Amino acid sequence: DFLTKPFDATELKARVGNLLAIRMAQVELADQAKHLAREVEKATAHLLAREEEIIWRLARAIEYRDGDTGEHVSRVATICQIIGEGLGLNADQCRMIYLAAPLHDVGKIGVPDAILLKPGPLTVEERAEMEKHAERGRRILEGSTSDVVRLAAEIAESHHERWDGTGYPKRLRGEAITISGR
């Protein structure tokens, strides 16, 4: 603010009072902004924890459906994270893959028990039905607003593709297979 000389004491007190009030309001607003940022951070962390919990509970349900596989989904998640780190993916990408990978077999909920739990080799028809789980998994998970669930859809669809093109469902080969599917 500016004062002209000679200045009036009453005007000086009023302007200084106004400037102090403005500064106090600025400090208060900054404190409120910090508080709100902390609250948003806590709420975001809470939502992410809930999302992770739901993923792991769904993965546990998938594991029950597929029979006792000895913590298969946990091992897959950990191995995928390690591979991602080895490929030089950043920490966020590795964490996303770690969380999405356990849902890779969600499409198996659509495979009939007679096929899924069959102790011996599958017939050609049974194998074709089993292979549909990749597409079913994608359809179950696709279209989500969650980045993790969208990535899980990508993994569910492509986790049986093979580098040489002999995998399924799309017979993709090499780098045509998404990094998450690989």
Dist. CA 158–CA 182, nearest whole Å: 8
Residues 6+ apart with CB under 8 A from 148: 51, 55, 96, 99, 100
CA distance 80 to 36: 36
Q: How far apart are CA 105 and CA 40, in angstroms?
A: 34
Q: How far apart are CA 111 and CA 128, in angstroms?
A: 11
Q: 5, 34, 108, 170: which one is catalytic? A: 108
42 flagged as catalytic: no
Alpha-carbon span 153 to 143, nearest angstrom = 9
Alpha helices in the chain (DSSP H): 9-65, 72-86, 91-100, 113-116, 124-131, 133-141, 147-158
**Residue 52 CB partners (closer than 8 Å, separation 6+):** 99
* Residues assigned a catalytic role: 108
